[in-house]
A and B are shown apart, each in its own frame.
Chain A
Amino acid sequence: KAGVTQTPRYLIKTRGQQVTLSCSPISGHRSVSWYQQTPGQGLQFLFEYFSETQRNKGNFPGRFSGRQFSNSRSEMNVSTLELGDSALYLCASSYEGRGEMYFGAGTRLSVL
């Protein structure tokens, strides 16, 4: 069974640009969550999608948004990039948001 797949693995952008990250969950998993990991703040919850609906949201500005498609694949978008957005963005899937959650390898975003 394939694991959680994130693309791309690395991204370099400049301030003011926008970026879209993609996540394909484990087959059969309908819940996809997104996390930001930085050395200073650790792992922080961005949002969770289930059946194409955002169910929960962390404390991030509106520049961070996401969506989920009917096949459970999810995308995360960050607009008007800031230097502080440089981080490892991890997505994780679980069957219905209850129980074990599995992470992808992440997308490392560098904002110059």
Chain B
Amino acid sequence: GENVEQHPSTLSVQEGDSAVIKCTYSDSASNYFPWYKQELGKRPQLIIDIRSNVGEKKDQRIAVTLNKTAKHFSLHITETQPEDSAVYFCAASKGSGGGADGLTFGKGTHLIIQP
């Protein structure tokens, strides 16, 4: 089955700096890659996603890049703010969506924004 590796497990950056979280996947058939943000005690929230027919997607301070050949994708957060502090999960699935084929999640990255 699919295996998703996520690095780093903890990332501490100064407020205003950029943060990058990287994930690799094993199944070349995977074609949907969402990123979720989970604040302490709260539900995971979808922040951005990308499909295999696109190499990059941007939404304000957040961007995701996908390299299908290397089977890795990354989350980029620019101009980090205190409210960006949370655990971020990457995921992959084969069904062009999150539901039907199940998402395989990475272990998560605890992002800490230092004031």
Contacts and interface: CB of A to CB of B under 8 A. Distances in A.
A58 interface: yes
A87 interface: no
Contacts, number: 80
A56 B100 contact: yes
Contacts of B105: 42-44
The binding surface of chain B is classed by DSSP as loop
B46 A101 contact: yes
A96 B44 contact: no
Contacts of A55: 100
Contact of A48 (B36, B42, B44, B100): B100
Contact of B102 (A32, A58, A93): A58
B44 A33 contact: no
A27 B113 CA distance: 36
Given A43-B89, A103-B45, A94 B99 contact: yes
Contacts of A104: 43
Interface in B94-114: 95-108
- Interface size on B, as a range, is 20 to 34
Contacts of A97: 95, 97-101
Nearest to A91: B43
A33 B43 contact: no
A99 B98 contact: yes
B97 A98 contact: yes
Given A42-B105, A42-B106, A43-B105, A100 B98 contact: yes
Interface string B69-98: 000000000000000000001010001111
A109 interface: no
13 contacts: A32-B99, A35-B103, A48-B99, A50-B99, A56-B101, A96-B97, A97-B99, A98-B99, A99-B96, A99-B98, A100-B49, A101-B34, A103-B45
CB-CB nearest 10 A-B residue pairs = A97-B100, A101-B98, A97-B99, A98-B97, A45-B102, A31-B99, A94-B99, A43-B105, A103-B43, A99-B97
